[in-house]
Structure 1
Amino acid sequence: MRITKEYDERRTEILDTAERLFHIKGYDKCTVNDILNAIGIAKGTFYHYFKSKEEVLDGIVSRYKEIVVSKAHQILNIDAISPEEKLMRTFMAMRITNQIDGDMLEDIHKPENALLHKKILNQIVSDMAPLLTKIIKEGIEKGAWNCKYPLEYMQIFLVASLTLTDEGIFEMDADSQMKIMVALISILEKMLEVPEDSFVKLFMQNQ
């Protein structure tokens, strides 16, 4: 008997299965046929939802990205906190190591999943930079700080922070990681022309 499923349910099933197979075999070694056989669907059904294996990968990437972006939106909508507090909370929310299961994070960092890793970082920078820019502009309007290039500075800051704090790229002990975080926040203070240690104190309070 043929089983039919609602669009979203079938799409989710394909993503779930592909993610599990990427975990087992790695993205490069996993084929569309592997996904089809694991679910028990025809090629036509697969291509109704996704044009290629890479498009499936993009769907998986969107899941990780939405974890971070959703948290950031929640923080942006809190009216009762200062721009400084919003910035620090958002900075902490974008740390992917805090948002994703440890085993899955380890899989993302495997050499065979390099494309997945690259796409996740790219999407987080692309989606988070405008959100951080909103906070920067809010702070400028309220006289909390000055910033000549809000979007560009946030893009630079995101790339630096996501790369340097990525345990799959740089292996560090806890003390070295903390020093990097404090140094990044010190750079942010200079970007926004605020007194030294203004954000560092907030960062430490949010640990």
Structure 2
Amino acid sequence: MPRIIKHPELRREELLDHAQALFLTHGYDRASLNDVIAAAGVSKGAFYHYFASKEALLEALAERFARQALAGVQKILDDPNLDPLGRLNALMATSRQAKIETAPEAWALFETLFRPENLVLFHRINLAASKSFSPVLVQIIRQGLDDGTFRTFDPEGVADIVMQFGTATYDIIAKAFAGGSDADMEIAIETLEKRVRLYEIALDRILGLPDGSIRIGEPGYVRAVMTARRDNPAETAAAPKRAGRD
């Protein structure tokens, strides 16, 4: 049969599609690069032309998720009827809803990142998200400065702080996963709920706003995201093997 030649970007996206499907079905740890290569129907040489390692593949998936998430909020960014505070809160509300809706699938991919050996990879993936969203946040903050909504001397610094919130909760989530019990999860949920409230107050103060102006969370948000991992079929299927290894 004649060889089918595809555009490099199309081939790369197909490899990511196959990897995502396998990671979601079997979990990141249980799906090998050979599985991805076989599913994609390419040679190892062709695969390594696009991705140097399994970690690079996961990082590329994270970057794609970030681009897709950014596309999902473009309507908010372009809405002329939103003032800067309304735009910032709408952005966070959309992000919350997306995390709730995609939490079971997201945990199948990213639960492995909360293991100690993957701390560097976790930070690399957070960097990908920051590269996509920080410029958007800076733009909103600058608009708020221009019209007097916000008061701050460092818009880029505020954007960095927002993007670091996820990194700051790493230890809380990792500890809950390592413990593995319902009690550990309840402690993590309670701690994260308080932390979200603290971040809201901090952002209000940093931006010169009255308390209660910024809404990062909402009632039940943290619990919905965290318990989605426990109820995830891929997580449940993988649990006996992990227990055996431990």
Q: TM-score, normalised on structure 1?
A: 0.77
Q: Secondary structure at the match of 2:102?
A: coil
Cα 1:57–1:103 shift into 2, 3 Å: closer
Corresponding residue of 2:110: 108
Counterpart CA distance in 2 for 1:167 and 1:20 is 28
* Counterpart-to-counterpart distance in 1, 2:64 and 2:159: 23
Distance 1:123 1:134 in 2: 18
More helix by share: 2
What SS is found at the alignment partner of 1:193?
coil
Q: Could you report, residue by residue, the CA deviation over 1:126-185 in whole angstroms, capped at 9, with x for unpaired residues?
A: 221211111111011111121111101220222025543898436554555443322211
Provide the residue aligned with 1:75 in structure 2.
Answer: 76
| Rounded Cα–Cα distance in structure 1 between residues aligned with 2:146 and 2:171 | 33
User: Which residue in 2 is equivalent to 1:139?
Assistant: 144
Q: Which runs of 5+ in 2 are unaligned?
A: 177-184, 222-246
Contact 1:132/1:154, CA 8 A, preserved across alignment: yes
Letter matched to residue 148 of structure 1: F
Counterpart check, 1:198 vs 2:216? no
Q: Give 2:57's aligned residue.
A: 56
- Aligned partner (choices 146, 155, 174) of residue 150 of structure 1: 155
Counterpart position of 1:19: 20
Partner SS for 1:100: helix
After superposing the two structures, state which structure 1 stretch, 73-82 or 154-163, moved more.
Answer: 154-163
Higher mean alpha-carbon deviation, 100-109 vs 142-151, is at 100-109
1:119 alignment partner, one of 103, 113, 124: 124
Where does the alignment leave 5 or more consecutive residues of structure 1 unmatched?
none
CA–CA separation in structure 2 for the residues paired with 1:61 and 1:99 = 17
Q: What RMSD over aligned residues (CA atoms) do the two structures have, in Å?
A: 3.4
Give the structure, 1 or 2, with the largest relative contact order (CA under 8 Å, sep 6 or more): 2
2:243 is matched with which residue?
A: none
Q: How many pairs does the alignment contain? A: 203
